[in-house]
Structure 1
Amino acid sequence: MGKLVYGVNVVEIGFDDRTLAHLSVVIIAKLRRRESFLFSWRDDSSVGDGRSSVWIDPSIPLHFKYFGSRPPSLNRAWVAALTATANSAQGLHLVPEPSDGDGAGGDDG
């Protein structure tokens, strides 16, 4: 399981590597444009099964730590769906992975 490590107080959020790879594409795209946004997720049952949110800002340290050594292929449709949530008033949150409708599969990068 990979981790998104955020901020000076070190908030560690666990995601499987495939999910983390898709989140990183969306987060990095927003930060490159110097856009701040809310990121919310559902907590694992081991930490209470609630919900958490952080304000993502370009000035706050961010680290993506993957468990595996090989990058997962990317589903363009999922990146687009996650980007749509990141651009909404509710901010970035996980949505189910759709099938990649263009039939091309994913990217390896």
Structure 2
Amino acid sequence: MGQLVYGTGDARVRLDDRMLAHVKTIALMKLRRNESFALTVRQDSTTEGRTTLWLHPAIALQFSFDTDEVGEMDRSLLESFMHEANTGEVVVHASSEHDSAARSE
């Protein structure tokens, strides 16, 4: 499980490394263009709750991965995330298996 640290470090979200790599790709693309967007992370199926962050270019953002390799990027997942980022908010689950399966249906 990797970690996204936002701002001064008070906001921390744990994500599967593969999912975090996809979020990082979209975040860097959006923030490079000075575009803000909402990111909502839902907990796994055994835990209720969610965290929403407003990602803005002026606020520090750090991605920490537990592994060096996260595998290949899923193009359809990236496209789905980018569409969500452009139209409202990106919603991800703490586990990458849930997001990949849900978006492929």
Pairwise TM-score range, normalised by the shorter structure: 0.7 to 0.9
Q: CA RMSD in A?
A: 2.0
Shift in Å, 1:72: 2.2
Which runs of structure 1 show a deviation greater than 6 angstroms over 4 or more consecutive aligned residues?
A: none
Query: Which runs of 5 or more residues in structure 2 are unaligned?
Result: 94-98
Contact 1:17 1:72 in 2 (8 A): no
Aligned residues: percent identity?
34
The structure with the greater share of residues assigned to helix is: 2
- TM-score normalised by length of structure 1: 0.79
Larger Rg, first or second structure (1 or 2): 1
- TM-score normalised by length of structure 2: 0.81
What is the number of residues matched between the two proteins?
Answer: 97
Map 1:1-109 onto structure 2 (within 5 A). Answer: 1-43=1-43, 49-89=48-88, 91-94=89-92, 96-97=99-100, 98=103
Query: Which runs of 5 or more residues in structure 1 are unaligned?
Result: 100-109
* Higher RCO (CA 8 Å, separation ≥ 6 residues): 2
